[in-house]
Amino acid sequence: MQFEWSYFFSLFSMPAFWAASWTVIKLSSLAWLIGMVLGFALANAKQASSRWYRAPASVYVWFFRSVPLLVLLIFVYNLPQLLPASGALLSNPFYAGLLALVLTEAAYMAEIHRGGLLAVAKGQREAARALGIRTLGMQRLIVVPQALRIALPTLTNEYVTIVKLTSLVSVIALTELLMVGQRLYAQNFLVLETLGAVAIYYVLIVSLFGWGLQYLERYLDISRRNAQTLDESLLGALRKSLPAVRRHPHTEQAGAPDALRLFGVEKSYGNHHVLKGIDLRVRRGEVLSIIGPSGSGKTSLIRTINGLETIDKGEIVLFGEDFIQAGDRPDNRRQRAGILRIGMVFQNFNLFPHRTIADNIILAPQYHGLSDRHSLRQQALALLDKVGLLAHADKYPHQLSGGQQQRVAIARALAMQPDIMLFDEPTSALDPELVGDVLNVIRDLAREGMTMLIVTHEMDFAMSISDRVVFMENGHVQLDASPAQIRDGEHERVRRFIGLENPA
């Protein structure tokens, strides 16, 4: 029996096939889009801290990934027998098929989205919190764009799967490609020719939309974006138009409250008691360095000061006002107001990789409505000029060295015009030759009178820049003294730690 080529080619001009193709496109596209939205909601629910969200979402994903689509299609199409009110909608095979596909795909896409969400580094969320960006803003501006870019290849593959699954909807009498083909070869018995044409129609649909989604994937690929360094001739003209960067008061005002007070702060992680009753006073315009061996509680201490970690006992007072107390609900109004007065620079930079350098700096001020976008961009460029990176304003973080990224992180924190700056080991992730530029920026801030707390292992830097040095060990403040007192005193343990004395 010969292959009927003339009949085969005639199938590509048959209106019934093109109408069925349009049905497949509508069904698969709607199922993909609706399933993607519902799947994202399920993924977030599965990651929620409350079991009242986690448990129902987990049960949904487990159930609808277990039930075969064919069974679900037949059940949904016959559901009006059980619920007559649904008959007006579900008696239509298209809507019944769409509902069954959405119920199934939402479960699969929830796991795809969850993988994307888990791939977004924890530091991205912490950077957003340190900038005072709340949960919904964090999701919209930072988490979702990154998670979508990560999940897009798998979501594209899922669209291909949905297109092929639409062939099952013929079981409830929806006139799609497979049903049109079945009707034809039942009449003429030309099975191979008819199914060959059906396969090509599916290939065309998958290819067309697959190419479109691959283009979107390439467009969202940050590694392909390589902005150039601004020409020096352009920088001179640009600098003339930039506003002055805000300066900070150099001295403490008479009678003004301290910038920061900690009273009996304690913090535990399970059975591990990290902070054991920390009392600390930081005056306005003072630079305080926190040093000590690894595991002494330095980073935990600085993270409690801007609410990234809760405290178990004690309280923190900011400029004479209640700020953080033991047992507080995280992200309450009092804390949010205080966090806006504190800038944070992390050890690992935590820049937002999907935004340019200038946009990293603009993001938080724009979110909080501090000014219009044009003014904020001018201020961002002025800050970049301050840290020596104006020429790189339109680059992305991946195009910069570690030292440059850390200087951008400092500019981003300064864009919120904080009254206190926190530095969590700002040079420990840098190569030795990159450390100097970052430390010079911090020195400039100290000269301007910025109140700063710096967790550091750079002992020479700490002794040269600090008004006071706090030495921590085993969760306690063992010493709180000026650099001169440490050099001239008899604090043998501290002097040995910073290298002023050789070990016995």
CB 31 within 8 A of CB 102: yes
Report pLDDT for 418.
Answer: 94
- Residue 264, sorted as left (phi over 0), alpha (psi -120 to 50) or beta, turns out to be left
Report pLDDT for 63.
Answer: 96
| 334-375: pLDDT as tens digits | 888 999 999 999 989 999 999 999 999 999 999 999 989 999
CB 366 within 8 A of CB 373: yes
Report pLDDT for 489.
Answer: 76
| 255-310: pLDDT as tens digits | 678 899 999 999 999 889 999 999 999 999 999 999 999 888 999 999 999 999 99
CB 104 within 8 A of CB 69: yes
CB 260 within 8 A of CB 281: yes
C-alpha span between 406 and 349 (Å, rounded): 5
C-alpha span between 59 and 77 (Å, rounded): 23
- Spatial CB neighbours of 293, under 8 Å, sequence gap ≥ 6: 473, 497
Residue 321 predicted with pLDDT over 60:
yes
* Segment 146-154 mean pLDDT: 91
Q: Which two tokens stand for residue 159?
A: 């669209």
C-alpha span between 176 and 39 (Å, rounded): 26
The DSSP string of 333-357 is HHHHHHHTTEEEE-TT----TTS-H
Residue 247 predicted with pLDDT over 80:
no
Q: Which two tokens stand for residue 149?
A: 């870019």
- Spatial CB neighbours of 207, under 8 Å, sequence gap ≥ 6: none
Residue 443 predicted with pLDDT over 60:
yes
Antiparallel, parallel or unpaired: β 468-473 and 476-481: antiparallel
* Residue bearing the bigger pLDDT, 433 or 426: 426
* Segment 35-48 mean pLDDT: 93
CB 11 within 8 A of CB 197: yes
Report pLDDT for 182.
Answer: 86
C-alpha span between 135 and 289 (Å, rounded): 32
* Segment 303-322 mean pLDDT: 92
Residue 251 predicted with pLDDT over 60:
no
Residue 451 predicted with pLDDT over 90:
yes
Domains, the chain: 5-220 (1.10.3720.10), 260-497 (3.40.50.300)
CB 284 within 8 A of CB 255: no
* Segment 22-45 mean pLDDT: 94
Report pLDDT for 253.
Answer: 61
C-alpha span between 162 and 284 (Å, rounded): 61
| Residue 1 confidence class, pLDDT cut points 50, 70, 90 | low
Q: Which two tokens stand for residue 153?
A: 């290849």
DSSP three-state, residue 324: strand
Residues 303-341 as b or e (16 or more Cβ within 10 Å = b): bbbbbbbebebbbbbbbeeebbbeebeeeeeebeebbbb
Residue 124 predicted with pLDDT over 60:
yes
Centre a 10 Å sphere on the Cβ of residue 426 and count the other Cβ atoms it contains: 25
| 151-183: pLDDT as tens digits | 999 999 999 999 999 989 988 888 888 888 888
Q: What are the start-end ranges of the H helices in 288-419?
A: 298-305, 333-339, 357-367, 373-386, 402-414
Report pLDDT for 216.
Answer: 85
Residue 237 predicted with pLDDT over 80:
no
Residue 236 predicted with pLDDT over 90:
no
- Residue 170, sorted as left (phi over 0), alpha (psi -120 to 50) or beta, turns out to be alpha
Half-sphere exposure of 137 (CA within 13 A, CB side): 15
The DSSP string of 412-466 is HHHTT--SEEEEESTTTTS-HHHHHHHHHHHHHHHHHT-EEEEE-S-HHHHHHH-
Percent of the chain with pLDDT over 70: 97
Residue 31 predicted with pLDDT over 90:
yes
Residue 239 predicted with pLDDT over 70:
yes
Report pLDDT for 491.
Answer: 78
Residue 406 predicted with pLDDT over 70:
yes
Quote the distance between the C-alpha of residue 297 and its chain's center.
26
β-strand partners of 345: 423
Report pLDDT for 246.
Answer: 66
Question: Mean pLDDT across the chain, nearest whole number?
Answer: 89
Report pLDDT for 66.
Answer: 94
Q: What angle do CA 223, 227, 231 make, to 5 degrees?
A: 155
Percent of the chain with pLDDT over 90: 57
Centre a 10 Å sphere on the Cβ of residue 458 and count the other Cβ atoms it contains: 20
| Residue 248 confidence class, pLDDT cut points 50, 70, 90 | low
pTM: 0.86
C-alpha span between 63 and 55 (Å, rounded): 12
Q: Which two tokens stand for residue 109?
A: 């896409």
Report pLDDT for 238.
Answer: 79
Antiparallel, parallel or unpaired: β 287-291 and 451-455: parallel
Residue 130 predicted with pLDDT over 70:
yes
